[in-house]
C-alpha cells in the first residue's frame, strides 16, 4: 500500500480537494515512507533468498546476521524488550 502511495504521490499533490490535502503525508513523512519502502525491499530480498531450495542453515544464519548488522537499531529494541 505504501508503494502504491509513493507511485501516486505526484498525482495526489495535483488534486485540489481539502479532504485529500489534509490526508496526504508531509515532506518529513514522505521521507520516512521512502525509507520504509527501501527497508521493505531489502528484507523482501532476504525472505526470497531464504525460500530458495539450496539454502543451508549456515547460509540462513549469514543472511540473518547481515540483516541484524544493517538494521541494528531495530534489533536492539527487540533484544531489550522484556
Residue 67 near residue 46, CB atoms below 8 Å: yes
- pTM equals 0.63
Burial class (CB in 10 A: 0-12, 13-18, 19+), 13: exposed
The C-alpha atoms of residue 12 and residue 71 are separated, in whole angstroms, by: 31
The C-alpha atoms of residue 24 and residue 40 are separated, in whole angstroms, by: 21
For 8-63, what is each residue's pLDDT tens digit?
888 887 888 888 777 888 889 888 888 888 888 888 999 999 999 999 999 999 99
Residue 37 near residue 2, CB atoms below 8 Å: yes
The C-alpha atoms of residue 65 and residue 43 are separated, in whole angstroms, by: 12
Amino acid at each position: 500500500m505504501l508503494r502504491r502511495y509513493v507511485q501516486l504521490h505526484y498525482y495526489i499533490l495535483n488534486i485540489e480537494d481539502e479532504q485529500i490535502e489534509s490526508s496526504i503525508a508531509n515532506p518529513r513523512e514522505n521521507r520516512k515512507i521512502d525509507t520504509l519502502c527501501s527497508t521493505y525491499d531489502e528484507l523482501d530480498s532476504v525472505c526470497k533468498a531464504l525460500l530458495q531450495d539450496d539454502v543451508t542453515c549456515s547460509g540462513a544464519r549469514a543472511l540473518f546476521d547481515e540483516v541484524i548488522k544493517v538494521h541494528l537499531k531495530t534489533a536492539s529494541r527487540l533484544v531489550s524488550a522484556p
